[in-house]
Each structure stands twice: as structure tokens, then as C-alpha cells.
Structure 1
Amino acid sequence: MNPRLLKSHTKSHILNVLINKGDFMINTYETGQMVTLISGGPEMTVREYSPIQRGYQCQWFAGKKLEQGYFPGDSLKLVLPPAKE
């Protein structure tokens, strides 16, 4: 069975549900959100979710060089914006 990507639209949020042989994975990050690895590392921008890679494509800068990679959703955490004064 090939993975299928289903999209369920809510007010301002898209939940992507990956269905593959009974495995369910709910992805909660949106394109443009800032995330970081739970284990640490640079802040990254979510570019897209890839059902083939079963992870998020994220981009970040290493100095002036733009880097990118795929990361499973459970290895990421959302970077919250600074609190308004």
C-alpha cells in the first residue's frame, strides 16, 4: 500500500494525516513555522511535509549557507515567539 496524504482543513491550521498499513501520524507543523530539534540545534523554518520521507523538510542557515534536511515530527519542537511586553 502506498502512503496517502489526506488534508483536513480547519480555521487556520492544516492537519496532515499519513496512512500507511494502519500507521497513523498526525503532523502539526505548518509551512513557515519556526522549529528546532528537541535535542538542540539551530532554529529552522518548516518548508513542507513529505509523506515519502515521512518527515518535515526544514531549512536553516549555517553562517551564510542555506542548509536543509528532513526530520520526523516527533524530533521537532515549536519555537515560540517572544512574549509581548
Structure 2
Amino acid sequence: MKTAISLADSLYQRAERLARLRRLSRSELYAAALRDYLDRHEAADVTDQLNDLYAGEDSTLSPELRELGLEAVRTSQSDPP
């Protein structure tokens, strides 16, 4: 698909320079940049949704579970590799 966008001259020049250095076409560079941007923001959206979902949940460990975790750490530290 073709599209047209407007860029500041300085941004365009930086992109052109990077495309030359990486031996990419302009389309390949812009597609890779957009893909990376979308991946980062989609991952952040998932994290935000999970944070919202668990915001009201009590994350405090029960004393029993806390002690089991501490015991596991102590045991793993005392066992030779």
C-alpha cells in the first residue's frame, strides 16, 4: 500500500542517512520504524490493561506463603551448585 506523509526536513534527512547506512529502501526503513513503534505501544497497552485489572487485587502474601518462599531461598543458597 502506498501512502504520503509530511516530515520535517531534519527528520527526513536523518531517515535518509540511516537508510543509506543500513542499505534499506526508504519504504523498508519507514515500515520497520512503524512496526517497532506499534509493537512498543501495543505492549504498553497490554501492561496498562493488566495493571487496571489487578489494581484492586490484594497482592499481600499470606504469612505461610511468605515463609515457604523464604525457606526456598534459604535452601537454594545453602545447596552447593
The TM-score, its normalising length taken from structure 1, stands at 0.19
Q: When you count strand as a share of all residues, which structure comes out higher? A: 1
Answer 1 or 2: higher relative contact order, Cα 8 Å, separation at least 6: 1
Q: When you count helix as a share of all residues, which structure comes out higher? A: 2
The TM-score, its normalising length taken from structure 2, stands at 0.19
The structure with the larger Rg is: 2
